[in-house]
Amino acid sequence: MSNILVADDEHAICMAFSRMLRQAGHRPLLAANAKQAMEHLHADRVDAVFLDVRMPGMNGLDLLERIRADYPELPVVVMTAYGTMDTAKRALELGAFDYLGKPLELTRVRDLLQRALYRPAPETLPQAALTDAAAPGSAAQLIGQSAAMQEVFKLMALLADNDLAVLVTGESGVGKELVARDIHRYSGRRKARFLAVNCAAIPEPLIESELFGHERGAFTGAAERRVGRFEAVAGGTLFLDEIGELPLTLQGKLLRVLQERQFERVGSHQPLELNARVIAATNRDLGTEVEQGRFREDLFHRLNLVTLRIPPLRKRVDDIGLLSSHFLQQAAAELGKRFIGIEPAALDHLKSYAWPGNVRELEHLIKRSVLGARGPVLSVHDVELPTAPGSEIADGHRLLERLGQAARAALRQATQGGAIDAADGNGPFHRLVTFVEQELITEALHLTGGNQVSASRLLALHRTTLRKKMRTTGGDMGGDDETHKNG
């Protein structure tokens, strides 16, 4: 959840923003003038500002100057009803992130908000990746003794000395990124960078320039030339994580880059040579995505030449012992405790669980267990496996109860209202479906702290479908303050 400051003397605009921001899982901070805006800035952490130009007292452009001086990193979007090019130009000169003409267009506001809030994750920054990959042995290494992992290791060894594109598939937490890092670590490209790009984490309008870079002036806001990931990777390995989330248009471009081993910055015709190995990963079934028209078949075949399928942990129980000891030693060292091993009963207990979160879940569980345990041997009492928690069942019952009430109310209303036009989207069926969708989406957003990407994954709903649903059923979703707390 981000804190978004909206400064506008027009009450209706503030309200519209407030609603839209809540729906997107953010917290609106409203100000009717410059003074109130500065008070918010001093009192709260603010992540982005939407600023009206004409306000009583200090006007928006002067306020912009002050914000730039005090908070140079903060993105400020300037809004103006008197949208002459002069104001817009002046705003950009003063360092505004972008400007919006009034009347406001909701989709453009949403896009801008996404762009303003976008920060590359620290682990995907070139520098971090560089140190990581340049020091083999220091970072985590893939381990496993199951027959399935032995097969994976064999394939990885075969891949070390060529440049074939690789697709790594498997459920969340099975170790796909670690596989990619290890392929890089043992390849001829190990001295160069390993760069990770999470296709699901970058707002759609930004992906192309993030991947391929752009020339100065290629689009509004492109003040400087920017080097994309394909260029920055400079001879190393580019890891395209969550490739299933890449928009279709970009899929076509990526295919061309892989085929021709050339690409261009946005706004340029100068071809640049691709000097990198590309490893893609996904926890979706790309075959199904292709069938449903969400993933290009040609790109799928191109990536699918070499596929490393990492089985879920429950299908390679033989790895649980080795992984557990490994995570035990790691956690003990981190927490300054001494452990010599795991009691056999505790290990059996671990092997009996299905591990829906796979190796990541095991890693976290061992860490939690070590934290609470005395040592030097991890016993069955120290290991607390998640069971279906009572509260969740109770939540489910409550939801069903509300659904039942809503169903009865809708039907009662329909019988009282007489004949219903079948084409009318307001009948009991539509109203109930909308109700259920709303409940599910609200709950998913709540569980994921308002993160739409995680929520769509949780619901196994495509990100754009989720957004569309939030927009169409969105009517009341932002009304409940409690819903989006703890972001």
Ligand X SMILES: Nc1ncnc2c1ncn2[C@@H]1O[C@H](COP(=O)(O)OP(=O)(O)OP(=O)(O)O)[C@@H](O)[C@H]1O
Give the binding site for ligand X (CB under 6 A).
140, 142-144, 170, 172-178, 283, 323, 359-360, 363
- Residue 140 binding: pick among Mg ion, ligand X, none (C-beta 5-8 Å cut-off by kind): ligand X
Measuring CA to CA, which residue among 142, 132, 136, 128 is closest to residue 179? 142
Residue nearest ligand X (C-beta atom): 175
Interatomic CA distance for residues 452 and 156, integer angstroms = 34
- Residue 143 binding: pick among Mg ion, ligand X, none (C-beta 5-8 Å cut-off by kind): ligand X
Shortest reach from residue 245's CB to Mg ion, in Å: 12
| Complex with ligand X: residue 61 or 279, whichever CB lies closer | 279
| Complex with ligand X: residue 178 or 406, whichever CB lies closer | 178
Measuring CA to CA, which residue among 212, 199, 207, 204 is closest to residue 276? 212
Shortest reach from residue 143's CB to ligand X, in Å: 4
Q: Contact 265/218 with Cβ under 8 angstroms? A: yes
Shortest reach from residue 362's CB to ligand X, in Å: 8
Interatomic CA distance for residues 398 and 147, integer angstroms = 45
- Residue 359 binding: pick among ligand X, Mg ion, none (C-beta 5-8 Å cut-off by kind): ligand X
| Complex with Mg ion: residue 177 or 245, whichever CB lies closer | 177
Q: Contact 53/59 with Cβ under 8 angstroms? A: yes
Interatomic CA distance for residues 237 and 279, integer angstroms = 7
Interatomic CA distance for residues 314 and 327, integer angstroms = 17
- Residue 363 binding: pick among Mg ion, ligand X, none (C-beta 5-8 Å cut-off by kind): ligand X
446-to-174, 454, 485 alpha-carbon distances in Å: 25, 11, 7
- Residue 283 binding: pick among Mg ion, ligand X, none (C-beta 5-8 Å cut-off by kind): ligand X
Shortest reach from residue 176's CB to Mg ion, in Å: 5
Backbone φ and ψ for 207, nearest 5 degrees, come out as -60, -45
| Complex with ligand X: residue 104 or 139, whichever CB lies closer | 139
| Complex with ligand X: residue 237 or 473, whichever CB lies closer | 237
Shortest reach from residue 176's CB to ligand X, in Å: 3
| Complex with ligand X: residue 8 or 177, whichever CB lies closer | 177
Measuring CA to CA, which residue among 25, 22, 12, 6 is closest to residue 103? 12
- Residue 18 binding: pick among ligand X, Mg ion, none (C-beta 5-8 Å cut-off by kind): none
Shortest reach from residue 297's CB to Mg ion, in Å: 24
Shortest reach from residue 240's CB to Mg ion, in Å: 11
3-state SS, one letter per residue, for 426-467: CCHHHHHHHHHHHHHHHHHHHHCCCCHHHHHHHHCCCHHHHH
- Specify the DSSP element, H or E, that contains 198: strand 194-198
130 burial level (CB within 10 Å; 0-12, 13-18, 19+): middle
| Complex with Mg ion: residue 39 or 123, whichever CB lies closer | 123
The 340-369 site mask, x for binding Mg ion (CB under 5 A), equals ------------------------------
Measuring CA to CA, which residue among 181, 189, 186, 157 is closest to residue 275? 189
Give the three-state DSSP class for 40: helix
Residue type for position 328: L
- Residue 165 binding: pick among ligand X, Mg ion, none (C-beta 5-8 Å cut-off by kind): none
For residue 319, what are its two tokens?
């790895």
The 157-186 site mask, x for binding Mg ion (CB under 5 A), equals --------------------x---------
- Specify the DSSP element, H or E, that contains 214: strand 213-214
- Residue 233 binding: pick among Mg ion, ligand X, none (C-beta 5-8 Å cut-off by kind): none
Interatomic CA distance for residues 158 and 156, integer angstroms = 5
Interaxial angle between packed helices 248-260 and 204-212, expressed in degrees from 0 to 180 and rounded to the nearest 10:
10
Shortest reach from residue 294's CB to ligand X, in Å: 18
| Complex with Mg ion: residue 239 or 263, whichever CB lies closer | 239
Q: Contact 191/126 with Cβ under 8 angstroms? A: no
Shortest reach from residue 340's CB to ligand X, in Å: 20
CA 388 to chain CA centroid, nearest Å: 27
Give the three-state DSSP class for 414: helix
| Complex with ligand X: residue 170 or 474, whichever CB lies closer | 170
Shortest reach from residue 367's CB to ligand X, in Å: 10
- Residue 208 binding: pick among Mg ion, ligand X, none (C-beta 5-8 Å cut-off by kind): none
The 220-239 site mask, x for binding Mg ion (CB under 5 A), equals --------------------
| Complex with ligand X: residue 178 or 380, whichever CB lies closer | 178
Contact residues for Mg ion, defined by CB under 5 A: 177
